[in-house]
Each structure stands twice: as C-alpha cells, then as structure tokens.
Amino acid sequence: MFAPQLLKLFAALLLGNAIATAAVAAPSFDAGELAELRAQASWQKYAHVLIGLDVDNSIAALSKRKSLAATDYDTELAEVLSQIKGDYLEETIWKSVFGQVSFYVNRAGLAKLTHARGVRKIMKASPTGHVYDHGDSLEVVKALILESGSALVTVIPHSTSAEWSLGPDGRAKFKTGSGVPKASELESEDFVASLSPSAFTSYELASKKIGGDGNDPSIILNLTIEGYYELVTRSDIRTLQSTERALKAQASKPVLDQGALDEAKRAGNAMVTIDLKRSPGYTPRLHLLSPQARASQIGSLRAAFEEIVGAAQPSALPSLQTIEGLASATVVLDYEGLEALYDLADARIERVTKPFQSTAR
C-alpha cells in the first residue's frame, strides 16, 4: 500500500538529482577552440576568452527588466572570477548586457574555467578592434614583447587635446587644442596614472624631451605583455606602435609602383592610389576626435594631397578623389605627371599603387 508513495518519493529524488546535476554541470566548449586557447595561452602567456555566465538571459527574462546594464550580472561574475583569482587580467574585462564576459586568462585560469561554477559556455573572444592597426603594427608590438619581455611603444590616447597634422617631412606635427600651457604633458601623466602597475616598467613623455615638441602627446612606454593586452582592450587608444618602427616609417622613402608607370606610358594615363604616411596621432576613426582635432586632420590631409598632385600635374587636380580625413586618395595622371610624381618622391607619401579599377584605356 506504500507503493504509490514510494514511487512519488523516488520520482522526486530523481528530479532533485537532475536539477542538482544541471546546477553543477561543467561549462560547454568546443574542443578545437579550447585547444586553440590553450596554445594561445602557452605561446602568448594569455588567451582571450569569452564566457557565457550561467544566468537567465532569455528573451522572456530580459523583457521583464526595466533596463539593461552591463553591471546586471556583477554578482555572478564575481563568483566566477573568485575561482580564477590571480590567473586573469582584470583590466581587460568586457561585459555585455546579456551575461557575456570577455577577458585575458592564463593557462592555469583557462583550466579552472573548464569546470568553474557559474559558467555556461567558454568560447574564443573576437579581437576588440578598438585600436587602429596599420600594417599589422599591433602584431609587431606583441611579437617584440614576447621575444624580449617588454618593448618600447608609442602610445597616444584619444583624450589628448593635441591636434595632429602631417608635416612636410612626413612626420607628425602637433599643436595644442586647449590653450592650456603644458596641456599635453598633464593629459599624458593622467593617462599613465590610469594604467595598471604591471602594464609597463618605465615611461617617458615626448613633450618633456630636450629639443622635443612640447605639444607632442606621445607617451613612450616600456610595455609588458600584460600592458599590451590591457591597451588593446581599451577603447580610448588612438595610437599604439613600436617606437622604433614608427620612427623608421616616418623617415622612409615612398614605395612607387612601377606597374602604374608602365600602364601610363602604354595607355597615356593611369589612375593611381596615393597613400600618405600614417604617422603617430593619425586615425581613420574621426568620430572619436574632438571637433578641433578632426578639422586639423581633415585640413592637413586635404592640403597634402592638393600640394602633391599640384606639384606633379596641376591639370589633374579635378580628378583627385579623397575621402574626408583619410590618408588615401585616387587621381588620374598622364605619363609625364606620374613620372613627375615619382621624381618628386614627396616625403609625405607612403606608397603609390594601382587601384583595383583604372580609368586608363
């Protein structure tokens, strides 16, 4: 006569065990992705992971909330991070309103995450893309640090009031946009103070160098790998380049495409793309600049293109096509004009190449 009650009790126990098992279930992950993350952490000291917190982020649950904020799951996140304490970089944390979190973690921390409480899923994080990366400059910096333990880098934050322009020698020129004496120096010091102590071993302000430009907002950091990962996940970095590479790039001679010259000789003219040097301080992300800094970059590049083309072939100026504020333009030059452009080898030019399409016939 106790059979029905025993069956109910047994069913309840099974249900309870199922719930308990689900509550402590290990995070899910793709084995191939996890292997890549392990390799990344071994070779590059840290891996960039994206985790899904074990929270109710269903559409039904989200629709009941009056507002969505990235801090909504801070309690759950704190529980996860407490299990990998000392094995992740706190400064690299990014949070979404849907309970997804990314950060850099070392191999030991990655191993702990695979059975951490409160984690539903582990994935590879996508590159943040916050920092403008011209010519794989970020990979160069990372490689130098991994090889030597640290590397000298030039950093310019978006917070600077200094206004960038491209000088006639191909080097960056700055003027203060705030009207405050030593503004760049004060802003740079504030930025350095915002970095974690492990991010760098030493620093120098370009504005304080003897014989240097007092308006130059560049900060020379002896950057560690922890600092590198911190900077590439920040959204307020305008420039991050190897200092040595940046100096060489500004002093380099233009790369001139012989194929374009051959085409102009054969067809009578050729459309070419002129790329100007992206010296430290330049950024294509104009929306992040102050109105004054944006106007300075736009005006400087427009003047440079007009001066360069005007010196080679004034009659070609109507064919000059630019995108406001960007360091690339196209123009149609006849053979003599292109030959003159190559002979002038203006120091502001990085390269001249044939675009994918040409008006030459």
Per-residue pLDDT band at 2 (split at 50, 70, 90):
very low
Burial 252-267 (b: 16+ CB within 10 A, else e): eebebbeebbebbeee
Whether residue 316 is contained in a domain is answered as yes
Whether residue 7 is contained in a domain is answered as no
Exposure on the CB side of residue 85, measured as CA atoms within 13 A? 4
Q: What is the C-alpha to C-alpha distance for residues 318 and 331, in angstroms, rounded to an integer?
A: 9
Whether residue 197 is contained in a domain is answered as yes
The pLDDT, as a whole number, for residue 92 is: 97
For the record, the structure tokens of 352 come out as 């001249």
The pLDDT, as a whole number, for residue 13 is: 32
Could you give phi then psi for residue 328, rounded to 5 degrees?
A: -130, 145
* Same domain? 327 vs 245: no
SS3 (DSSP) at 89: coil
* Same domain? 148 vs 102: no
* Same domain? 145 vs 245: yes
* Same domain? 246 vs 168: yes
Whether residue 129 is contained in a domain is answered as no
Domain count along the chain: 3
- Give the DSSP H/E element, type plus range, for residue 28: strand 28-29
What are the beta bridge partners of residue 270?
333
* Same domain? 156 vs 198: yes
Whether residue 347 is contained in a domain is answered as yes
Whether residue 260 is contained in a domain is answered as yes
CATH code (residue 98): 3.30.70.2980
* 360 vs 180: which has the higher pLDDT: 180
The pLDDT, as a whole number, for residue 180 is: 67
DSSP 88: B
- Boundary-marking domain end, from 124, 153, 183: 124
* Same domain? 205 vs 163: yes
The pLDDT, as a whole number, for residue 359 is: 34
Q: What is the C-alpha to C-alpha distance for residues 144 and 84, in angstroms, rounded to an integer?
A: 28
* Same domain? 165 vs 239: yes
* Same domain? 141 vs 204: yes
- Boundary-marking domain end, from 228, 250, 272: 250
The pLDDT, as a whole number, for residue 179 is: 64
- Boundary-marking domain end, from 224, 250, 276: 250
Query: What is the tens place of the pLDDT at every residue in 139-195?
Result: 999 999 999 999 999 999 998 989 999 999 999 999 986 666 677 788 999 999 999
SS3 (DSSP) at 17: helix
pTM here is 0.86
A 10 A CB-CB count for 228 gives 27
Per-residue pLDDT band at 317 (split at 50, 70, 90):
very high
> Which residue, among 282, 148, 145, 136, has the nearest Cα to 227 in the 3D structure?
145
* Same domain? 245 vs 143: yes
Computed on alpha carbons and rounded to an integer, the radius of gyration of the chain in Å comes to 27
* Same domain? 234 vs 177: yes
Average pLDDT, the chain: 89
* Same domain? 258 vs 349: yes
Whether residue 292 is contained in a domain is answered as yes
Lowest mean pLDDT among 10-19, 25-34, 85-94: 10-19
Whether residue 130 is contained in a domain is answered as no
- Tell me which residue range forms the domain holding 335: 253-353
The pLDDT, as a whole number, for residue 57 is: 80
* Same domain? 259 vs 346: yes
88: left (phi over 0), alpha (psi -120 to 50) or beta: beta
